[in-house]
Structure 1
Amino acid sequence: MTVGLAEVRAAARELDGVVKETPLLDSRVLSEAVGVDVLLKAENLQRTGSFKVRGAYVRMSRLTADEKARGVVAASAGNHAQGVALAAALLGIRAVIFMPVDAALPKVAATREHGAEVRLVGLTVDDALVAAHDEAERTGAVFIHPFDHPDVVAGQGTLGLDVLAQCPDVRTVLVPMGGGGLVAGVAAALAEAAPHVRVVAVQASQVASYGAAREAGHVVSVPVRPTMADGIAVGRTGQVPFELLDRLGVDVVGVSEDDLSRALLLVAERAKLLVEPAGAAGVAALLAAADRGDSPFEGPVVAVLSGGNVDPVVLLRVIRHGLVAAGRYLQLRIMLDDRPGSLARLLEILAVRGCNIMHIDHGRTDVGLSVDTVAVRLQVETKGPGHQEEVVAALREAGYALVAG
């Protein structure tokens, strides 16, 4: 079965009254940074906190009466689990969902609250997938794939129709990509409904499975290296999405961990939206382009914020990483004379210039230190790169030898 505009429109009819039309928000700070109008598609405000319910509901609503009676099974670390759980509740289908044992507790709780049975198995989503397939084979339940099925792709593609309705003059849509269901669906819909629109897949550079597949000319597996964007850390692009993306010539860009954390921080600070790292991939691509000083995206640009289900513990770590990447923390190592008042004078210079000390280490036993010297390491909170330069210049002017970094 192919997926085109007709299939996506049919999926949209099935989703009427099931999903929300999430808002499309202007972003002045991003527009100024990249020199074109930028809007944010806040799909993080969708039911269950991500786009996943679109594809899950369409896939499950089309099951036969016999298949619905047998129930469904799925594997996920979070967003797909919640999408399947909600769809099952709405359709009156029993759902068993396998999740890794270290899955974020809020995601596990939310999945159970929708009425699904959650079984914690293994350390990775791959372990959960094996268990889910075994359960489907043993019981006859229908396995609901997170992205590699035409019905799922068609359901996810309805987001593209929403974007077009909300911004008819859109020229570029940036879509976070893991297995490819969302970007393939959006591309399939817009290729017919608005062929002038360029759809761009955005992957975490740590797990760039679609880029590798494009180079090879077929689906390949890549190592899943650690990335904060766990929602798009998929080592193998789906076959159905790949065939669509390849036929439509959809471009792909990669974003770094620094890009992702800066993007999450910017969306939180300036757009007042809570987004998971994977969901901020499109914004990360815009920030990376701004850093390079180029303008590869014709505007108006819509960056899809694909999900907002982030563990608060992970959020804390990512925000800290984002603050460092955005130049808000300054690391210093300074040699001081080991005399009363030396440290106080150093801290006075930092205080006068509006710095906040986050951490300080005062060591006398470092290798290479003379008997009358101490090494002071500081982590200083600043207002950004320009403020950092001012602080470093003031310290050097005061005669301190230091290394920033």
Structure 2
Amino acid sequence: MPRSSWLFGPVLSLCLIPFAAMAQTPPDCTKPAGRTDRTICASADLKVAAEDMATLLRDTMGNTPADGRDAIERAQKAFLAERDGACADKSTIPACRALYETRAADLAAQNSAAQKKLAAVVAGIPKDAKVAAAALQRYNGAPAKAWLVYLYQSGTVTVPDKDATVRRLVDEILNQGLPKDPYLLEEIANLGDVSSAPLATSLLFLRHVLSTTEMDAPCFLFTKHGQPAFEAFGAFWGNARDETPGLCNPPSSVFDLPEWKAVSAHMDPAIEPALAERGSIRHGYERQFEVDDLQASLVPSTLLESPMSAEAKKMAEQRGRAVAAFRSWSDFDVWPEKEYRATVTALPAAINATSKLYREKFKLNPQTADQAARAAADRFIAGRLGLIMPDD
């Protein structure tokens, strides 16, 4: 906000700014306003703590519905009053730091609890999307707004002037609700106009926003949207960023079948050391393992759907090369021949057990069940074999 040289300009303007907006702003260390700000700005640790506090307060307020924010504001006012006494000069920096740590821990706990409640609202989407959307509108944080973008863009909930509404929500998320993470913001910018993009884009936008939270991607996204959802929430970064957002847990994993455990027993001795050697890239592999498991265990028929995105098509080509390499494997220095032969012997039983499960549990016809079971096997083998194959 522009500063006025006239006395009443800034005073009146400050009166019009909601407390929450003021409390979420760390001290301006180019122009410290008082003794407390000067103390904070003189300490690198306290400057970081104040910035982190502002972000945490913003997130906690954003993840709390409107009628629950008063208690947070009152607690923050009390903290600021105590801070002004505890951070009055440089001699009190240790006490000031401890005060920030205590308040940050309290806010983090509140934010985690708030996100669980928000996740419960999201979980109600399959039952009554309109009721869930109305509840989400009581929040002003990025996660709730991203879910509204998904609801509107997917047509699950209709809204007047949908494109303008989605653009407004996306702008608010980008300008007010996300961490100052240049890599994340660049990838979101690369999505273009979400309001005019296909569903896959809004799902990827949702994934990016949820990656800044503790919230998981719920199973209904995958059961409802199939391949686009699995692609959106699969390996994207190829590093530790792929650890978030978390994925829902299927009722059971097909790869927990004893027959698959037998296959794993002959592959893991070669795969696990290779995974460890990949450094941070291992997170991308592990993410794709998790998504392949979820797809094969939750909506196996989608294993037969064609890839949609350019990256997914590239991954399918790589998977084909890995499966071909498996069939004619000869690098027994990397994967001993005895273990390879045992894997080849154990694999048909795993495929048959998977096909049986697909027929009985998912009611797939025999031909589709067999095809899906073989596709699941291709995912399992190729995802792991890629770790020990020469890089392209």
TM-score range relative to shorter protein: under 0.3
Q: Structure 2-normalised TM-score?
A: 0.28
Larger RCO, structures 1/2 (Cα 8 Å, 6+ apart)? 1
Which one has the bigger helix percentage?
2
Which one has the bigger strand percentage?
1
Q: Structure 1-normalised TM-score?
A: 0.27
Larger Rg: 2
